[in-house]
A and B are shown apart, each in its own frame.
Chain A
Amino acid sequence: GDSVTQMEGPVTLSEEAFLTINCTYTATGYPSLFWYVQYPGEGLQLLLKATKADDKGSNKGFEATYRKETTSFHLEKGSVQVSDSAVYFCALSDLNTNAGKSTFGDGTTLTVKP
């Protein structure tokens, strides 16, 4: 079945540091890929997405590129801020399921210190 594997956390960075959170996936078909962010006590928010190979999703300084050859969708940001502290989830939606369901990774907790 489909699965998403994220880099284990927690990740602690200083403000203005470079961020990478690794995400790899297994899917039977040709999935769409997503990154979501969750702040404490809240639901998830869609951060960015990519629907085909070599697409780059971007939002609020975050980027991720759909790499079909390595089945990866790593999240990057050039300079993190304290306000970026949150839990980040990688997810996929396998178009073969015909139901729009998504499979989520376990999440990576990011803490940014001033």
Chain B
Amino acid sequence: DGGITQSPKYLFRKEGQNVTLSCEQNLNHDAMYWYRQDPGQGLRLIYYSQIVNDFQKGDIAEGYSVSREKKESFPLTVTSAQKNPTAFYLCASSPRTGKRGGQDGYTFGSGTRLTVV
């Protein structure tokens, strides 16, 4: 079945360490997104990409980086510059880009829970 695979499910990061969260989709979707979820809060957009080799910052991009070298892959790196990285990270995709893509809704992965130790 088609879907989005996020790995690992749980990740522990030491102070000053960079970590990379994987997101792979086999839905042939054009657009991909990274959101951060904190307890009792909604989702906040970190980065998004509408096409290979192009991506844009979301509302809380500081301390994060992404790449989109392949259509199906959109990894997120949490750098040491992110001061409060403990959160649940969700990757999502949608079939189309732009205004039409906004009408489709998202398919989400099952998330990665990152904890700073």
Contacts and interface: CB of A to CB of B under 8 A. Distances in A.
Interface of A: 4, 31-32, 34, 36, 41-46, 49, 51, 89, 93-95, 97-102, 104-107
Interface of B, secondary structure class, is mixed
Given A89-B42, A100-B50, A106-B42, A51 B103 contact: yes
A70 B83 CA distance: 40
B5 to A, nearest CB: 11
Contacts, number: 82
Nearest to A97: B102
Nearest to B104: A100
Contacts of A104: 35, 42-43
A66 B17 CA distance: 46
19 contacts: A32-B105, A34-B105, A36-B106, A43-B92, A43-B111, A45-B108, A89-B42, A89-B43, A93-B105, A99-B50, A99-B56, A99-B98, A100-B31, A100-B48, A100-B50, A100-B94, A100-B104, A101-B102, A106-B41
Contact of A46 (B33, B41, B106): B106
Nearest to B99: A95
Interface residues of B, number: 33
Interface string B61-80: 00000000000000000000
Nearest to B3: A43
Interface string B26-54: 00000101010000111101001010000
A32 B102 contact: yes
